[in-house]
Structure 1
């Protein structure tokens, strides 16, 4: 729970009463590798704090080609955020890539806590805006950068992912062909 508190309070410090109520609503969940936590068409009911493992969100494009949208790993929050907050069916999938352990909180608990504690509503707001800023930055990269530039930015921002995430998923995340990814990996000095 201390890691969860540290992650939350990196955004906004919480008074003890708000922390106690919030933390009591997070419940453990363990999943095997390749478990679909949320499927396209399902409504996301939880936000997950990742304790162990690696997960990815992905969409299925025409012809069933997968497009990796994001990764989550220990110390991060996960879930299909638009489906969660809008309580609408997801267009995406969330799956575990490795055995994973989470603390999760339900939509109903988040809604109650946001109404009861303005500081929790503020935490959700600031955290969501930070996530949105990250999505916008990623969208700009995808639409304006070439394959090599995207690859270099990924390695600058998150060099550890080369050892954590299968390269086919990294290529999909960058929107480049796996063969191009392999050439970049072999040809760029790290």
Structure 2
């Protein structure tokens, strides 16, 4: 749980007493490779903080084709936020790509923390804002960037993921074929 405190204190300092209270809202879960944290249709009850491992969040289209929304590594937050904030069934899958540990909290827990601790409300706002900015950057990149530009940007933003994620998933995330990615990777 000290990893949680270190993570929070990158944004908001907590007293020992505050942290003791905050950590009661989180539960640790160990996840094995190829295990789902969430599947389409599950009630989206939790928001997850990745302590270790790598996840991919995706949806399946009507033909069963996977479309990757995001990868999540250490210190990344993830949830099907549309479903989570509305307490509805998920439309996204969250799959573990390497043995992992996550902390999770409920929406009720998040709201209670935010109401009782201004520092946590600030923390969650900063994290959500950063995630929103990253999603906008990705959308603009997909709409206007060349495959080369998208590949280079991914490598600059997430160099640690380039070595850990199979190339076929990176290609899918970037919206290019595996063959195109191979040309970009070797070029």
* TM-score (norm. length: structure 1): 0.90
- Report deviation, 1:24: 1.9
| Deviations, residues 69-95 of structure 1 (Å, cap 9, x unaligned) | 111112222222332222122221111
- The 10-residue stretch of structure 1 (59-68 or 106-115) with the greater mean CA deviation from structure 2: 106-115
The CA RMSD over aligned residues, in Å, is 1.6
Match of 1:150 in 2: 150
How many residues in Structure 1 have an aligned counterpart in Structure 2?
187
The answer to which of 34-43 and 12-21 deviates more is 12-21
Partner Cα separation in structure 2 for residue 123 and residue 175 of structure 1: 32
1:121 to partner: Cα distance: 1.9
**How far off its partner does 1:36 sit?**
1.3
1:161 and 2:161 correspond = yes
1:6 is aligned to 2:9:
no
Instruction: Give CA-to-partner distance per residue, 1:99-150, whole Å, 9 cap, x none.
Output: 2111222222212222222322222122111111111111111111011110
The separation in 2 between residues aligned to 1:18 and 1:94, in whole angstroms, is 31
Aligned to 2:21: 21
Match of 2:61 in 1: 61
State the partner residue of 2:181.
Answer: 181
How far does residue 14 in structure 1 lie from its aligned partner after superposition?
Answer: 3.1
Unaligned runs of 5+ in 2: none
Q: Which residue of 1 aligns with 2:80?
A: 80
Cα gap change, 1:166/1:9 in structure 2, threshold over 3 Å: closer, same or farther?
Answer: same
- Measured in 2, the distance between the counterparts of 1:11 and 1:44 equals 26
Aligned to 1:96: 96
Shift of 1:55: 0.6
SS of 2:176's partner is coil
Q: TM-score, normalised by structure 2?
A: 0.92
Measure the CA separation in 1 of the matches of 2:115 and 2:159. Answer: 39
Distance (Å, rounded) in 2 between the aligned partners of 1:81 and 1:18: 26
User: Residue 71 of structure 1 aligns to a residue in which SS?
Assistant: strand
SS in 2 for 1:123: helix
